[in-house]
Structure 1
Amino acid sequence: MWTAGEGGLRWIFAFTSEEELAAFARVKGVPVDGLPYLTVLDVAVAGLGVAGGVALDVAGAEPMLFPPMRGIVPDEVALDGPMTTTGGL
Structure 2
Amino acid sequence: MRWVCGFADDGALARVAEAQGGGDSQQSGRSWEFAVLRGARLLDEIVPAMGGPAGVAINVAGPEGAMLFPPVVGIVADSVAVDAGEPDGGRD
TM-score, normalised on structure 2?
Answer: 0.63
Q: Does 1:47 align with 2:19?
A: no
Q: Counterparts of 2:6 and 2:74 in 1: how far apart (Å)?
A: 16
Q: Which runs of 5+ in 2 are unaligned?
A: 87-92
Q: Does 1:23 align with 2:21?
A: no
Q: Counterparts of 1:35 and 1:82 in 2: how far apart (Å)?
A: 35
Corresponding position of 1:11:
3
Corresponding position of 1:87:
none
Q: Counterparts of 1:64 and 1:19 in 2: how far apart (Å)?
A: 16
Aligned residue identity for 1:14: G
Q: Which runs of 5+ in 1 are unaligned?
A: 1-8, 84-89
Percent identical pairs in the alignment equals 37
Instruction: Work out whether residues 70 and 81 of structure 1, in 8 Å CA contact, stay in contact via their aligned partners in 2.
Output: yes
Deviations 1:25-60 (A, max 9, x none): 121122398753332413221122121111111111
Greater share of residues in helix: 2
Instruction: Figure out how many residues of one structure are paired with residues of the other and give that number.
Output: 75
**Aligned-residue RMSD, C-alpha:** 2.5
| Pairwise CA distance, 1:20 | 0.9
